[in-house]
Amino acid sequence: MHQLILGGARSGKSRLAEKLASDSGLPVTYIATSQPLDGEMNERVALHRQRRPDHWGLIEEPLELARALREHAAAGQCLLVDCLTLWLTNLLMLEDAGRLAVERDHLLDTLAALPGEIIFVSNETGLGVVPLGELTRRYVDEAGWLHQALAERCQRVVLTVAGLPLTLKGTAL
């Protein structure tokens, strides 16, 4: 099953995804997309590491997510990708403006053929005001389009608010 877990900042989305991965009973590999470039991000990464079981695998892939999924997805395996909006940000910040579309299309084209359990975590950014600035508006637009395309392809989509999951698609939690 492929799942998309959405939520705002500190909504409990990562914790829910980690619980679903643990509850799957499968070997879990965590695919981290962040690039901890400052002290605050280093602290966030450290908190995520402390929460994860030591026996989970770890892949750090900030850009080529589809490639990492193709290489590691397998029947009887659970991949947890945290998080898509950091991945999107990494791609938006590249000098190659076309890279985002290429990587996004690779991800969307690859998803249907991937075996095993895959859990995507992403920040829902479309519930607030339209941000000032071209780059932030593009980020919100790209995240919204990505979420729509993934939600169409995933068997379960969950919105997490205040630590509570609301199933939008698929079987309820």
Q: Which residues are catalytic?
A: 48
Name the residue type at position 120: F
| Torsion angle (degrees, nearest 10) of CA 43, 47, 49, 52 | -170
In the three-class reduction of DSSP (H, G, I as helix; E, B as strand; rest coil), residue 143 is classed as helix
- Written as one string, the DSSP assignment of 44-91 is HHHHHHHHS-TTSEEEE-SS-HHHHHHHH--TT-EEEEE-HHHHHHHH
Tokens of 122: 């992403």
The rounded distance, in Å, linking the Cα atoms of 147 and 126 is 10
Count each helix (H run) and each strand (E run) in the chain, helices first.
6, 7
